[in-house]
């Protein structure tokens, strides 16, 4: 669950998968989640790289206040030790991002055991303090040189180009038998984008497991193997284009490409539950696989629900948790941005018209997390195309996932249910876009959409004092409180003094005046920027269309020339050139149109105009 979180420490950071090592193979049930009540004293899961923005208890060393330790790590590793008294318990408020600093492998397996033996916490303090200054791993996202990431590579370059960001190097390499095998890599050139190879789940697990054996040769082989595999897109491809793995327990349509098999099951307790698929030999087998299309069912960009089911199965030490989900999900259409027609749907207990969970996500996520008792079948129009709210394309996917994670963390599902009931029917904040015929809160010229009012304004000191409450307006309006600058200014208004006091009224008047100025500048800049960009996009599309037509007509010209069906007359003009067929001349004209279209779409004067308008808008944004 934690590795699938969409709430990383920074907006673009990716969580680093941890290696679950346990000598106990006895299956265990999912954590018990109650419908309501007080939250658990010890959270269900360590958040790992996920940052939580809701109120929780944390532990810390008094002289190292910024390094927090979750209650789960404290209970599992610290509470019963002689050093427990060195840590203090604090409670972080809502809307302050907090993350655990103890979950790193280096702390749990290297630094903490030494601290227990010596009774000295200096090494722990030093590492936690240093780790706060290390930039978070951004996963496989390409990272520009401007980000200032320190890179480490293999000293002897056994795997050409293998690099690790500083965070992964500190967490997974330093303090192991492989530390001497790595050194600081060369400076990243400006203009180049690099990505961390240790962020690949299989390589991340391999270096931890194989370092314990001090088997450097095995790690080189496994890292090279994984890096040689192409990225899986989850699309249907010819079945002989890659190596496939299938469960030993037969599950119809359940197959995984080699890359996804390694990342999801390789070097876990379930790696032997899969076997390599034998393509067969001979012409018949070759022809069959050339004409057969398969898709990988463990690709997180298309089958996130099955990846989630695999994670839950690993946690519960029970492969049947995954198998029972896959048996259902693999015979259903995937949960995608295109939605589903004539599917079976679930919603939260008691019903909710605007919240829908498809059957695939229900069996793979809801059921495997042990919260199926809080959902019920939903009757929906069988001819309607519905988008599942567990799909990443759902407008509230990230918000729902945050509340789902909170419910699992604290063992109380009402956090999720209450949020869904409140926001399921609320339109998502339009941001910079305008909305016609909408309901608004706030003040004249400083309007708040319903989404922002409920999620941010309502709980502040002046939330009930706004002069406009659910006011209806036919005209196109924008929400003004979605930006961080406006929200900061609103909080300053709330902190200026008691509602109605001279200090509060003066700060509020300043806020409203700024909002009116911001709205005026918006009308002068943002719509114009959008219009210019839209026109550029249309010009680009038209140029591409002309290019495709040029290829088609040139093909017709070539075919006529080869087949000898030309009439001997030349077609064209002195500027265009002369061609054996009319199609050749038309193709040349369309090629010229394409070039002219691309040049027109990328006119520097228009880009400069957009840049100037952006500078004006950024002064108030």
Does the pLDDT at position 500 exceed 90?
A: no
Task: State the pLDDT at residue 3.
Answer: 42
Q: How big is the CA angle at 35 (ends 31 and 41), to the nearest 5 degrees?
A: 55
User: Both 464 and 531 in a single domain?
Assistant: no
Query: Which DSSP helix (H) or strand (E) runs through 416?
Result: helix 414-423
pLDDT tens per residue, range 271-293: 999 999 887 666 666 666 666 88
From the number of C-beta atoms within 10 Å of its C-beta (0-12, 13-18, 19+), residue 445 rates as: middle
Residue 66 lies in a domain: yes
Residues 247/327, Cβ–Cβ less than 8 Å: no
pLDDT score at 35: 95
Q: Is the pLDDT of residue 323 over 50?
A: yes
Clarify whether residues 26 and 129 are in a common domain: yes
The verdict on residue 383 lying in a domain is yes
For CA atoms 180, 186, 188, 193, give the dihedral sign. negative
Does residue 302 contact residue 336 with C-beta atoms inside 8 Å?
yes
How far is the C-alpha of 116 from the C-alpha of 26, rounded, in Å?
29
Of the ranges 21-25, 507-511, 600-604, 606-610, which one carries the lowest mean pLDDT score?
Answer: 21-25
Name the band, by pLDDT with cuts 50, 70 and 90, for residue 95.
Answer: confident
Residue 280 pLDDT: 63
Burial (CB count <10 Å: 0-12, 13-18, 19+), residue 553: buried
Residue 213, in any domain of the structure: no
The more confidently predicted of residues 15 and 111 is 111
Residue 269 CA, distance from chain mean position: 26
Burial 511-527 (b: 16+ CB within 10 A, else e): bbebbeebbebbeebbe
Same domain for 583 and 469, yes or no, is no
Overall domain count for the chain: 4
The beta strands (E) that lie in 203-319 are given as 237-238, 244-247, 256-257, 274-276, 293-294
Instruction: Give SS3 for 87.
Output: coil
Same domain, 5 and 88: yes
**Is 442 part of any domain?**
yes
**Residues 42, 96 within the same domain:** yes
Terminal Cα-to-Cα distance of the chain (whole angstroms): 36
Give pLDDT, residue 235.
87
Q: Which of 272, 238, 277 is nearest to 255 (CA)?
A: 277
pTM of the model: 0.84
What are the structure tokens assigned to 370, written together?
């042990």
* Domain boundary pick from 425, 444, 460: 425
Backbone angles phi, psi at 167, to 5 degrees: -60, -50
Q: Which domain holds residue 417?
A: 332-425
Query: Taken in order 205, 211, 215, 219, is the CA torsion positive or negative?
Result: positive
Query: Whose structure tokens read 């520097």?
Result: 604
- Domain identity same for 482 and 596: no
* Whether the predicted pLDDT of 564 surpasses 90: no
Question: Strand 375-378 to strand 345-348: parallel, antiparallel, or no bridges (unpaired)?
Answer: antiparallel
Asked whether residue 384 carries a pLDDT value surpassing 60, the answer given is yes
Rounded Cα–Cα distance for residues 256 and 232 (Å): 10
Q: What mean pLDDT is predicted for residues 211-238? A: 93
CB of 2 closer than 8 Å to CB of 340: no
Do 464 and 557 lie in one domain? The reply is no
pLDDT band per the 50, 70, 90 thresholds, residue 49 = confident
- The answer to whether position 325 is within a domain reads no
d(CA 183, CA 541) in angstroms, rounded, equals 47
* 228 band by pLDDT with thresholds 50, 70 and 90: very high
State yes or no: pLDDT of 548 exceeds 50: yes
Q: How many CB atoms lie within 10 A of CB 28?
A: 11
CA separation for the pair 227, 386 (Å, rounded): 38
Judge whether residue 465 has pLDDT over 70.
yes
Q: Which residues of 358-367 are buried (b: 16+ CB within 10 A; e: fewer)?
A: bbbbbbbbbb
* 418 shares its domain with 464: no
pLDDT of residue 572: 85
Q: Which residues pair with 347 in a beta bridge?
A: 376
* pLDDT surpassing 60 at residue 365: yes
Q: What's the pLDDT score for residue 287?
A: 62
Residue with tokens 């129009």: 381
**Within this chain, do residues 366 and 463 fall inside the same structural domain, yes or no?**
no
- Give the mean pLDDT of the chain: 90
Q: What is the DSSP pairing of strand 340-341 with strand 256-257? A: unpaired
474 beta partners: none
Share of the chain above pLDDT 90, in %: 78
Give the C-alpha distances (Å, rounded to integers) separating 53 from 138, 185, 431. 20, 35, 21
Given a cut of 70, whether residue 115 has pLDDT beyond it is yes
Q: Please tell me the distance from the alpha carbon of residue 364 to that of residue 382, in angstroms, as a whole number.
A: 22
Which of 24-28, 284-288, 485-489 has the highest average model confidence (pLDDT)? 485-489
Residue where a domain terminates, one of 425, 448, 481: 425
Q: What is the pLDDT of residue 621?
A: 84
pLDDT value at residue 293: 87
571 touches 516 (CB < 8 A): no
Is residue 123 in some structural domain? yes
Q: Are residues 570 and 453 part of one domain? A: no
Token pair for 388? 């599942």
The residue out of 140, 175, 206 marking a domain boundary is 140
Task: Clarify whether residues 409 and 469 are in a common domain.
Answer: no
User: How many residues comprise the chain?
Assistant: 621
Same domain, 464 and 550: no
Is 9 contained in some domain?
yes
Q: Is 419 inside a domain boundary?
A: yes
The predicted pLDDT at position 21 comes to 41
């Amino acid at each position: 669950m934690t590795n699938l979180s969409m709430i990383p420490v920074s907006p673009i950071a990716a969580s680093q998968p941890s290696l679950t090592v346990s000598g106990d193979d006895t299956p265990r049930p999912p954590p018990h989640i109650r419908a309501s009540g007080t939250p658990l004293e010890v959270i269900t899961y360590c958040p790992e790289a996920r940052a939580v923005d809701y109120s929780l208890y944390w532990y810390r060393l008094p002289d190292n206040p910024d390094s927090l330790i979750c209650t789960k790590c404290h209970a599992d590793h610290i509470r019963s030790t002689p050093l427990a008294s060195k840590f203090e318990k604090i409670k972080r408020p809502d809307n302050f991002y907090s993350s655990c600093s103890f979950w790193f492998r280096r702390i749990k397996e290297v630094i903490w055991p030494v601290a227990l033996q010596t009774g000295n916490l200096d090494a722990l303090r030093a590492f936690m303090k240093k780790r706060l200054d290390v930039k978070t791993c951004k996963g496989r996202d390409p990272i520009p040189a401007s980000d200032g990431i320190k890179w480490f590579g293999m000293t002897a370059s056994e795997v050409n180009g293998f690099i690790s960001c500083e965070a992964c190097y500190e967490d997974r390499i330093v303090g192991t038998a492989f530390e001497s095998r790595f050194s600081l890599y060369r400076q990243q050139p400006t203009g180049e984008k690099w990505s961390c190879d240790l962020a690949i789940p299989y390589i991340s697990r391999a270096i931890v497991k194989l370092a314990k054996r001090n088997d450097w040769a095995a790690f080189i082989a496994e890292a090279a193997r994984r890096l040689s595999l192409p990225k899986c897109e989850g699309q249907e491809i010819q079945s002989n284009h890659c190596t496939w793995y299938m469960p030993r327990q037969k599950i119809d349509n359940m197959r995984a490409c080699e890359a996804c098999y390694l990342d999801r099951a390789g070097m876990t307790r379930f790696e032997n539950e899969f076997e390599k698929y034998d393509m067969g030999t001979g012409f018949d087998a070759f022809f069959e696989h050339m004409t057969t299309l398969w898709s990988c069912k463990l690709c997180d960009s298309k089958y996130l629900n099955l990846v989630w089911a695999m994670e839950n199965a690993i946690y519960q030490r029970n492969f049947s948790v995954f198998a029972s989900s896959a048996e259902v999900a693999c015979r259903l259409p995937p949960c995608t941005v295109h939605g589903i027609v004539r599917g079976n749907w679930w919603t939260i207990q008691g019903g909710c018209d605007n919240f829908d969970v498809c059957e695939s996500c229900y069996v793979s996520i809801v059921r495997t997390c042990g919260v199926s008792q809080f959902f019920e079948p939903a009757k929906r129009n069988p001819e309607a195309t519905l988008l599942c709210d567990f799909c990443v394309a759902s407008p509230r996917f990230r918000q729902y996932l945050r509340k789902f994670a909170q419910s699992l963390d604290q063992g109380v599902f009402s956090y999720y249910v209450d949020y869904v009931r409140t926001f399921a029917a609320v339109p998502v904040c339009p941001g910079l876009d305008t909305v016609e015929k909408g309901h608004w809160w706030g003040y004249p010229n400083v309007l708040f959409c319903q989404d922002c009012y409920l999620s941010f304004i309502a709980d502040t000191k002046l939330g009930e004092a706004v002069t406009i409450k659910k006011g209806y307006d036919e005209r196109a309006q924008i929400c003004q409180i979605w930006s961080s600058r406006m929200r900061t200014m609103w909080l300053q208004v709330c902190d200026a003094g008691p509602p109605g006091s001279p200090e509060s009224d003066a700060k509020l008047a300043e806020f409203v005046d700024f909002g009116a100025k911001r709205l005026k500048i918006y009308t002068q800049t943002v719509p114009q920027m959008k219009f210019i960009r839209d026109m550029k996009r249309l010009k680009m599309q038209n140029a591409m269309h002309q290019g495709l037509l040029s290829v088609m007509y040139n093909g017709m010209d070539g075919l006529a020339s080869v087949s000898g069906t030309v009439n001997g007359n030349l077609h064209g003009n002195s500027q265009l050139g002369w061609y054996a067929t009319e199609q050749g001349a038309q193709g040349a004209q369309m090629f010229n149109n394409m070039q002219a279209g691309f040049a027109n779409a990328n006119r520097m004067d228009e880009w400069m105009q957009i840049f100037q308008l952006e500078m004006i808008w950024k002064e108030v944004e």
